[in-house]
Structure 1
Amino acid sequence: MNPVVKEARVRETEVVEKAKRRRFTAEDKRRILEEADRCTKPGEVGALLRREGLYSSLLSVWRRQREAGGLAALAPSKRGPPAKVAEPGARRIAELEKELARAQARLKRAEALLDLQKKVSEILGVELPKQDEEP
């Protein structure tokens, strides 16, 4: 065998670095489903699946989608959880909750400092002014 021909055959069978995911439009899905529905003889559906490069499970999923809502259900949808619809005041509420949490943290620190000042004044014997009195 000629080395050039052998090298050409090797190049033909090389695997692509990263395969791309196939995407089917609603029209493609509808066309393949109609073709599958027309298959009556044994083995015709299998030949169709091999020709299109599909698995039978994908055909089943497309049939369920078609029964659920027609052509619109066959259209590709976004993956993942549905996007949350933002309420009109939700952003403002979140900002106010953060501000409140910061203010509460500052209040806690201030109270801790006041307690510390009271303890230090007791230890040193320094009398602090009462709350009613001004310093």
Structure 2
Amino acid sequence: MDKQMKEVFEERDVSAKVFPEGASGKTATDAEVVAAPSRRSFSTSYKRRIVREADACNASGAVGALLRREGLYSSHLSHWRVEIEAIDTAALEHKPRGPKPNGAKLADRRVAALELQNAKLIKKLNRAEQIIEAQKKLCNLLGLPTEEDLPR
């Protein structure tokens, strides 16, 4: 038995040299490359098809069978339903084309339009006052009573 024990200790010494402490049993010559997992991505048409199929399932357990067959989770269905509804809603909303309106420019344009309108009204008022003055002078020349001369 001493001989067997001696061989076991010798093996341990050799393994200590090959595998330093904390090593996981691999030698320095192991160069296995492990592929990095990649995220699955699904097209919108696939998502729509699966959601339609899940909505069409009538039998109990049919949705679960569909999910197992496709390798999906129930959370996929719930997220996809929300996403598809958002896409459909956004497609129905009217979005104006062209550049977005600038609030400062709109205010400047409104001020300019109001100033132009004000200038036109002032010009019209001056003309009306001139006409009224001319009518008063004509009434005075003809000796007709004016509104100021009439009793109230």
Higher Cα Rg: structure 1 or 2? 2
Higher relative contact order (CA 8 A, sep 6+): 1
- Under TM normalisation by the shorter chain, which class is it? 0.3 to 0.5
